[in-house]
Structure 1
Amino acid sequence: MSKYEPSCLNSNDVDCIEQLTLFVRGVANCLETTDADQETVDTLKQIGESAVEATSRALSDKQSEINDLREQVSSQAKSNAEDRQKITQLEDELAKRAEYDANTRKKITELEETVETDTSASDTSEQQSSQSSATEDENEAKTTALEQVCALPEHVAVENLTSNQKRARSVARRIKDYGKSVPAGIAITSTRIRDVLTAQEDKRIHRQTVQRVADFLKEFGDGGVDIKETRGGKTAVVFDDGLADDVTSVVTANDRATVTPGVV
């Protein structure tokens, strides 16, 4: 019989091997009852046993291949199920992100309306003394969302902005202090943003947080802020000089209007 374990073969294969073995032994026994010499009988036995061994090996190999294919099919089915689950999760994340972006745009619109109301109330006396010049300036320039966010009263910003929006606001309000002058305007690298936020919050700031802050700066900049890559391969947020001046002016004017004794 074959040296291969019977467990490697199915029942049909085992029956086939046993029948072949019995056949070879039967032929050899028949020859022994005739005048055939012992050498011929032994040769026949060896040939028969070799045939049985080769057949057993071939059937065992085929059965192993079938088992391997079954395992591969099972593994692929499991992998496909995991992929479908990942796709479902990604779809859910995209839906949540779309909802978040829609809420953010709605919040910005509400903040713009709040800024317009607060700015109108705080600048009443100044507008009365220089109404004509103020009207001309208002017609000549359009205020960006970044300027409006930076001009928000502190309590309004705290109550209405998300954590990353407040971080972007804090960087923009002091962009001339934190940034560096370059031909394109005022630039601040992602590393510098992380250092500034780390110092402000006294905790480690993750790379994803820095990227979201940079994205908000560009979004609120209304074309006056761009995200570029330096020659050294670092990411930098670049304010054009005009927007940097406008933001600084808004912050300075707002600080003057809100300073009280004992507050530095």
Structure 2
Amino acid sequence: MTKSSIEDLAARIDELEERVDALETDTQQLEETVEAQAQTIASQREALTQYETRADDLEAKLDAASDHRKHLQQRLYAVESADTPTDESNTRRSPLQQLIRLPSQALSKLTANQERARFIAKDIREYATNVPAGFALDSSTIRTVLHAKEGRTPHTQTVSRVMDFLDDLGKAGVKIVKRRGTKRVIFTEHAVSELAATTTSTGGSGITDVVMGWR
């Protein structure tokens, strides 16, 4: 190999080493940029999670405030109509049946969770699963039904409140049980038959009569 060839080879090696150094510098800068962006994204994700949590809390408080206001309205209607004669045939029904029979003009006086409980009770056979004790409706199913109804996943507190309403308004025909960490609302065969036979009445009792039955 001639001296000229050796010098050319050395020059190429120097050039390649410079390119390698430049690439290493670029790579380091890119890694630093990626790391900085990753930290920014992580920070933004954490902030977003905090905002979502706060929004959920505010929404839950708003629902609670709305429920409280409507409960007060219902109590007021009950007091104002305490001397109004009630339909004897209606008083023989469970509050949950009476809830289903409410005329359309009375529905606006229901709280959001009362309306959700009514929605589920109207088609209980469609949603509940047949079990030895009657029919069972678990929290996951209620969450799925409400998501389909409202287009968003309900809060755990909302699902629990709806289950409580079904239990309270169903009286002896409904109870809540917890097995293997899962809450279920159990309806007796008779309760489901009664609910299935109940139809919305345009001339039934108003919200006052139903509220009086809940107390």
Residue of structure 1 equivalent to 2:163? 221
User: In the superposition, relative to structure 1, how do residues 210 and 169 fare at CA in structure 2: closer, same or farther (>3 Å)?
Assistant: farther
What is the DSSP-based 3-state SS (H/G/I as helix, E as strand, rest coil) of the residue aligned with 1:240? Answer: strand
* Contact map agreement 1:165 1:216 (CA 8 A) in 2: no
What is the DSSP-based 3-state SS (H/G/I as helix, E as strand, rest coil) of the residue aligned with 2:15? Answer: helix
Any idea what the Cα deviations from partners look like across 1:48-89, whole Å, max 9, x if unmatched? Answer: 332222222112111111112212222332333233233322
Partners in 2 of 1:177 and 1:63 — Cα distance? 68
Any idea what the Cα deviations from partners look like across 1:4-38, whole Å, max 9, x if unmatched? Answer: xxxxxxxxxxxxxxxxxxxxxxxxxxxxxxxxxxx
Residue of structure 2 equivalent to 1:157? 107
| Structure-to-structure mapping, 1:181-200, within 5 angstroms | 181-183=130-132, 185-187=134-136, 190=141
Letter in 2 for 1:65: E
Letter in 1 for 2:151: T
Residue of structure 2 equivalent to 1:258? 205
RMSD: 5.0
Who wins on radius of gyration, i.e. which is larger? 1
User: In the superposition, relative to structure 1, how do residues 210 and 118 fare at CA in structure 2: closer, same or farther (>3 Å)?
Assistant: same
* Contact map agreement 1:218 1:226 (CA 8 A) in 2: no
Letter in 2 for 1:74: T
Cα deviation, residue 213, structure 1: 9.1
Task: Provide structure 2 residue ranges, at least 5 long, that are not aligned to the other structure.
Answer: 89-93, 168-174, 207-215
- Using CA pairs under 8 Å that are at least 6 residues apart, name the structure with larger relative contact order, 1 or 2: 2
User: In the superposition, relative to structure 1, how do residues 165 and 117 fare at CA in structure 2: closer, same or farther (>3 Å)?
Assistant: closer
Q: How many residues align?
A: 183
* Contact map agreement 2:136 2:185 (CA 8 A) in 1: yes
Any idea what the Cα deviations from partners look like across 1:92-127, whole Å, max 9, x if unmatched? Answer: 22111101101212222333333444456368657x
Structure 1 position 241 matched with structure 2 position 187: yes
Q: Give the percent of matched residue pairs that are identical in Structure 1 and Structure 2.
A: 16
Instruction: Pick from 171, 174, 177 the counterpart of residue 120 of structure 2.
Output: 171
Partners in 1 of 2:43 and 2:127 — Cα distance? 46
| Structure-to-structure mapping, 1:1-264, within 5 angstroms | 43-119=2-78, 121=81, 125=85, 154-158=104-108, 161-162=111-112, 166-176=115-125, 179-183=128-132, 185-187=134-136, 190=141, 206=148, 209=151, 211-212=153-154, 216-222=158-164, 224-225=175-176, 238-241=184-187, 245=191, 257-258=204-205
Partners in 1 of 2:176 and 2:123 — Cα distance? 15
User: In the superposition, relative to structure 1, how do residues 118 and 228 fare at CA in structure 2: closer, same or farther (>3 Å)?
Assistant: farther
* Contact map agreement 1:217 1:225 (CA 8 A) in 2: no
TM-score by length of 2: 0.57
